[in-house]
Every structure is written in C-alpha cells, then in structure tokens.
Amino acid sequence: MAARGITLLAGGVVVGAAIGIAVGAVRADEPGWFTGNTSTGVSLRVVGGACTLTGKATEVVVRKNKKLTWEVKNFCGQAQTVSVGNFRRSAQTGNGNCAAATEGEGIPSPFQQDSPDRRTAAVDAASGNDPGKDKIQLMLKSENDLPGDQEPYYFSLCLGVGQEQKVVDPRLVIER
C-alpha cells in the first residue's frame, strides 16, 4: 500500500509540473505577466510616403499601481517623436495633439507622473532593417488614488510635435 501512495504522489508532482510549464509557456509571450506590469508596442512605418503610427493596440489593459510601457519602434528614415496624452472618459477628443495629460473637467490623471517629458519618446531613425527604439514608461496610481473597478479611459497617441501631430485614440482599461 505504501508503494501505491508513493506512486500516486510522484504522479501528482509530475502532472502538477506539466501544468505549471504549460501555463508558463502560454503567458511567457506577455511581457511583465509575472509582475502585473503591462507592455504594448507601437510601430512607425512609412505608409503612402509619410511616417505613420501602425502596429498599436486598440485597447490596453493595465492594473493599478503597476507600470505601463509603450515600446516604440521607428522603421521610418527620420527620427520621430511619439507621445501619449489627453486621458479622458469620452471616446471623442477636442485636442489635436498630446500636450495635455488629461482632458475634461475633473478627470484625474491615472498616472503618478504625467509631465510631457515622461509621456514622450524621441525615437532615432531606422538603420537599415533595424528600427530606432525608445519607450514611454508610466506608473499608474494606487488603488486609493483611483477608486473603482475597470476604470475606462481613452487617450491619444501622437506622432510628431506641436500642432502638426498625427493623432490616434486607443482605449485604456485600468483593472483593480
């Protein structure tokens, strides 16, 4: 009877290890999954003769008190500037650039730091097939500073500087 118990225990350990490896393999392609941080990509490519924001997520999900990183890759021939801003509750924006951190009356910034230099990446031009790379990394506020569950925000992702920025508007979901 003792041999049967040892066999069952060993089998349970093997099955448990296999499940653990399978779960790890499924989640391994999600950067920061083990820490709760979120990373999302933004690509810049020439489309119709102009450098354009491509390869971006239409919705980004992040947890409170965790880091959100936009990893920017520039495949264009010139250095580019990418920024995030206009965090708001409505899908529509009245701003044509990302100069403002938030948009709307009484809308709190979801981030611990939201100065323009923290919300901006200056990305070098591509060199051959190697893109220029930079990132924007912001830390979300804590649970006490952002009450509620799954707080939806919309935001602008901008290419360029000043009033000539090209703007796209993804959605940000903040989870507990």
The pLDDT tens digits of the residues spanning 40-75 come to 999 999 999 999 998 888 889 999 899 999 999 999
Give dist(CA 138, CA 98) in Å, integer: 15
Of residues 19 and 37, more confidently modeled = 37
Give dist(CA 170, CA 116) in Å, integer: 19
| pLDDT tens sequence across 82-135 | 999 999 988 888 888 999 999 988 888 899 988 999 999 999 999 999 999 999
Average pLDDT over the chain reads 81
pTM of the model: 0.76
Residue 14 has pLDDT above 50, yes or no: no
Give dist(CA 148, CA 157) in Å, integer: 25
pLDDT category of residue 158 using cuts at 50, 70 and 90: very high
Give dist(CA 36, CA 92) in Å, integer: 29
Backbone angles phi, psi at 27, to 5 degrees: -85, -10
| DSSP string for residues in 40-64 | EEEEEEEETTEEEEES--SEEEEET
Burial label for 140, CB within 10 Å (0-12, 13-18, 19+), is buried
Spatial neighbors of 66 by CB under 8 A, at least 6 apart, are: 32, 35, 36, 37, 38, 139, 140
pLDDT at site 6: 63
pLDDT at site 4: 60
pLDDT category of residue 16 using cuts at 50, 70 and 90: very low
pLDDT at site 29: 38
pLDDT at site 56: 85
Of residues 165 and 156, more confidently modeled = 156
Give dist(CA 97, CA 102) in Å, integer: 12
